[in-house]
């Protein structure tokens, strides 16, 4: 039997580790209602546009269709920033997009295609 160790070129994988929020269907519907929403573009494009327009340091992840994550990578913590300061900044930025407070936490996802 032959075992391959190393990169396999016909598969791909992705992952993320963020501090942020899971956006449920109610929040997604409010975002659509409160902002110009084009069905042809989709929710990903809407949230990315809101992030860009407000110059926020957030990322939006939709790993498998119906779960939406909004937050910031833990790798973005600055050297002179405490964990508490990082979390407060993320919370403030998420509230700018959502207009309300949501439950925040650390979320990690990984998936493989192929």
Alpha-carbon distance of 63 to 79, in angstroms, equals 29
Beta strands in 31-86 (DSSP E): 59-61, 68-73
Closest CA to 24 of 108, 98, 112, 114: 98
Closest CA to 16 of 52, 51, 68, 84: 68
55, two tokens: 């110059």
pLDDT tens by residue, 100-112? 889 999 998 877 7
pLDDT tens by residue, 35-53? 877 777 788 888 999 999 9
Integer-rounded Cα radius of gyration of the chain = 17
Predicted pLDDT of residue 38: 73
pLDDT tens by residue, 13-35? 667 889 999 998 888 888 888 88
Alpha-carbon separation of residue 90 from 40, 75, 106 (angstroms): 29, 13, 11
């Amino acid at each position: 039997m032959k075992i391959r160790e190393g990169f396999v070129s016909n598969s791909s994988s992705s992952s993320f580790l963020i501090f942020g929020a899971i956006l449920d269907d109610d929040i997604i519907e409010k975002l659509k209602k409160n902002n110009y929403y084009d069905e042809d573009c989709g929710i990903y494009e809407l949230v990315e546009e809101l992030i860009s327009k407000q110059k926020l340091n957030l990322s939006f992840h939709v790993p498998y269709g119906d779960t939406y994550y909004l937050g910031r990578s833990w790798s973005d913590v600055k050297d002179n920033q405490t964990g508490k300061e990082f979390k407060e900044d993320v919370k403030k930025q998420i509230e700018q997009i959502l207009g309300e407070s949501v439950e925040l936490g650390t979320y990690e996802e990984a998936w493989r295609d192929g």
